[in-house]
Structure 1
């Protein structure tokens, strides 16, 4: 079933043909421009957290592995390697090339993953053969690139966009016994996708859930086989969230824990965990509800937002899930009059909010320090996550179930 309205055959025949090649070239041009901007920013700033900061940590960890050392002894301005040992093995090619070449290759890979994600969403939300697909791909890509989670991930050199693509391919495109493999691999690189394994099991997709778990366990096994001592170090401290950030930055992050640490620092440890448990139960209930209504993308996004809320650490760059959230919201409001499509525009502004500060920072015009704007933005993201889950529940309650076999 299509979410975006179908164009009547008569209109499609009489309308002007969409210049597919030109539209795709436009999307590729925007992507290339983004790569150029990221490289320019990297060359003109010296911030420890912005130009390739995360990628530098990955590269240091990969070099440590190649040299026979531990990736968990890496320290770059207080930031260390916090991913499973399997991730360190996957990232070892970064140690072979120089820092500039590594940053260039990684930026190109991550940037090209953006139109790949947009295409997955366009393919899921529109009927096959819809002549607007190339236009939607171009517009969606150009709308996604300026979002702070996307731009921030590209600037930092983080792995978020690549993981987003792996999870969406697995949950939206893969069917049969192979479903779950990519999800397990993604979780082996970064633990946060494990929330989707819980979702698969709760919605009765036992085979896919077990496959994902087996794939994840396989990555753990590979890490333990190749890096046994480092595996013990990582898994023994897996619940220690303090290692994910330098001292003094505990209150950063858009999760419930980050919000509580910011607003109630004295009572944080007795509040954030029970509140997070309740949020996890409520969010997963919405995801299961959506799945049973055959609204698969809604279910996936409810699960993703729940994971962002309850994770001990959720940086703004983790909100790359804003791209499919916006795509679904646009699809839901497509039939409305133009003046009633403002929710998608407002949400786009929320996720693009820090971008003006970045521009000012790069040009030396920023009037605010990073902490002065980062904590309010983190709180805004926490409130947005709660609001999205509430709105999803309201929408599910007010609409008729989708037809079986036609997930949205």
Structure 2
């Protein structure tokens, strides 16, 4: 009887301990028996193999089609041009890429990383780049699910990766040969991976390739991760120094190209799903810099504060996604293929409100941003309804931020009421 009573008391204590765990903080799993752990280790090799098979299949299909449905690997051609210019001792900013007709608009450090691509024939570069991008997508799925306290069987990872290919930002990345999926993985490794001595370095490198991840450095600092934020900032500074030393014309980029959003394309184009893009379409001639800063700055700051609150609460997955949303809203140019962060957001929403996750994913699958007339300046003639539909990614992001902010307010109110009762 005594042993039975003791077991009942211990079980009750365990239930009370679990019930006290704050929402978003997941209790440690019970360690599997040795035999089960052996089976898990035996199956672990299936995950990278499955990701490799999916990546190879997608790479073969996209490369065979040459991405010509929408992209033609234009951005990958620019990367190869920039790398080739650097290897030849020329400035990648002096001329546009003759193959795509597009300029190289990334920081100088990006040209250093792109140099090996210039040594590959086009078909091989496209195959490897596409395969690496799909592999990065699979890795991102695994990291987000792990942060949510979920396991990632190989079959499920393959299924989710294939499903994510239906989202417009993802397939646009593949057909254009864009770098965003690789950068997203680098950011997630730092923000969702275990704390380690080099935490922040991958984020700093990502910011050196594309400046917008600097917003996530701010998120780390506000969330109390000052060591990782410092390492990220120092790493970014190192990428700037490397670019200045290694890339001809680097000074011109920092002096002239940095604050010229029109250099990367027409900011009024429907595919520019940022606050700046939305304001440009509303105001015809484009917003003054001051107006953009007055709107985008406080908005991004508010989203970062909400993201940091969720992070401190223990929900790093949602906090990271909100930080990425702030990054996209604040950027003067956030092309639709920059919105690959729609995939992690969908995974996070699925754990809370499945219909919200479905609605969120539907926005990025159905591509409403091109439902109104677009191109050749036709966005400047949109009416009120067309602005709502044509800015769908921005609207969805604002709705997500509002939901997350209301969740924090509700939780703070509930905690305050409990303290008064106590």
Cα deviation for residue 175 of structure 1 reads 1.2
The farther-off stretch of 257-266 and 348-357 is 348-357
Q: Does 1:96 align with 2:127?
A: no
Q: Does 1:185 align with 2:220?
A: no
Residues 382, 44 of structure 1: CA spacing in aligned structure 2 closer, same or farther, 3 A cutoff? closer
Partner of 2:226: 206
SS at match of 2:249: helix
Deviations 1:125-165 (A, max 9, x none): 235xx5x6334323321221221111110111111000000
Q: Does 1:254 align with 2:268?
A: no
For the 8 Å contact 1:316–1:378, the answer to whether it is kept is no
Cα deviation for residue 277 of structure 1 reads 1.4
For the 8 Å contact 1:57–1:74, the answer to whether it is kept is no
SS at match of 2:66: helix
Q: Does 1:382 align with 2:382?
A: no
Partner of 1:405: none
The farther-off stretch of 251-260 and 162-171 is 251-260
Cα deviation for residue 68 of structure 1 reads 1.3
Partner of 2:284: 265
Tell me the TM-score normalised to structure 2 length.
0.78
Tell me the TM-score normalised to structure 1 length.
0.81
For the 8 Å contact 1:122–1:133, the answer to whether it is kept is no
Q: CA RMSD in A?
A: 3.5
Residue 239 of structure 2, aligned match among 215, 219, 224: 219
Cα deviation for residue 396 of structure 1 reads 2.8
Q: Does 1:197 align with 2:217?
A: yes
Residues 390, 248 of structure 1: CA spacing in aligned structure 2 closer, same or farther, 3 A cutoff? closer
For the 8 Å contact 1:289–1:299, the answer to whether it is kept is yes
Partner of 1:157: 177
Cα deviation for residue 391 of structure 1 reads 1.0
Partner of 1:144: 164
Cα deviation for residue 8 of structure 1 reads 12
In the alignment, the residues of structure 2 paired with residue 63 and residue 201 of structure 1 have an alpha-carbon distance, to the nearest angstrom, of 37
SS at match of 2:104: coil
Cα deviation for residue 248 of structure 1 reads 7.8
Partner of 1:279: 299
Gaps of 5+ in 2: 1-20, 32-38, 380-385, 414-422
Count of residue pairs the alignment pairs up? 372
The farther-off stretch of 236-245 and 376-385 is 376-385
Cα deviation for residue 32 of structure 1 reads 3.7
Partner of 2:313: 293
Gaps of 5+ in 1: 10-16, 334-340, 358-365, 402-408
In the alignment, the residues of structure 1 paired with residue 102 and residue 25 of structure 2 have an alpha-carbon distance, to the nearest angstrom, of 43
Cα deviation for residue 52 of structure 1 reads 0.3
Deviations 1:199-222 (A, max 9, x none): 111122221111111111111111
In the alignment, the residues of structure 2 paired with residue 34 and residue 356 of structure 1 have an alpha-carbon distance, to the nearest angstrom, of 25
Cα deviation for residue 111 of structure 1 reads 1.5
